[in-house]
Amino acid sequence: MPCPRSIRHAPGPAATSVGGDIRLRGKGKIMTTLNQRPNTALIVIDVQNGVVGKAHERDAVVGNIGSLVAKARQEDVPVVWVQHSSEELPKGTDQWQIVPELVPDAAEPLVAKEYGDSFEETTLEEVLAGLAVGRLVVVGAQTDACVRSTLHGAFVRGYDATLVTDAHTTDDLSAWGAPTPDQVITHTNLYWSFQTAPGRTAATVKTGEVDFTAQG
């Protein structure tokens, strides 16, 4: 079951594209336009049984997300979980549950949402503000729905946003005229690596190259 697609500043230092990833030139501060928000958080979006059950390369993506969760915990980086509910994904059902391979720690924030953008009518902004977070490392599902919506939602709100290229996925909707999942994922990785806005940094990076201490 997919994540629903239709549901009810001053410029910083210059950036350069290296191998598809946007990097700051030299050593500078995180470029977020949000004041007093120097920290990074890992955002895990909708990795639920009913969302990723039939998703493209499901096991590999969940494995990569698990590796990043472990890395974040080891480095004392906040892990924020986002969990969707809807008529197709009712709260409390098995479909609504986060996949068994990923177990949120009791101390880690869990944000409930009903819209594609994880910021819309949720506690996400409050959670991130409380953690002084200005940079998000984004993983989860679905690429062309809630992941994409949340990336743009974060960017327009002033956050730096890094997409982990091999840690997000989507369903095959090609029977309805959509591109195949691998094309959706590749295209999203491509266009996000070139995303720009004043005072903010967009980036893409592979799981094995994630650096939670990166500046921008």
List pLDDT tens digits, range 136-175: 999 999 999 999 999 999 999 999 999 999 999 999 999 9
Candidates 111, 112, 116, 106; CA nearest to 128 is: 111
Q: Inform me whether the pLDDT recorded for 17 exceeds 60.
A: no
Considering the domain 46-209, what is its CATH architecture? Answer: 3-Layer(aba) Sandwich (3.40)
Q: What does the pLDDT read at residue 168?
A: 99
Q: What does the pLDDT read at residue 201?
A: 95
Domain residue extents for the chain: 46-209
Going by DSSP bridges, is the β-strand pair 133-141/160-169 parallel, antiparallel, or unpaired? Answer: parallel
CA distance linking residue 20 with residue 205, whole number of Å: 8
For 193-200, what is the mean pLDDT? 96
R_g over Cα of the chain: 16
Q: Inform me whether the pLDDT recorded for 10 exceeds 90.
A: no
Name the token pair of 163.
Answer: 């997409």
CA distance linking residue 23 with residue 17, whole number of Å: 6
Q: What does the pLDDT read at residue 32?
A: 83
Q: What does the pLDDT read at residue 99?
A: 99
Q: Are 128 and 154 in contact (CB under 8 A)?
A: no
Whole-number average pLDDT of the chain: 89
Q: What does the pLDDT read at residue 31?
A: 66
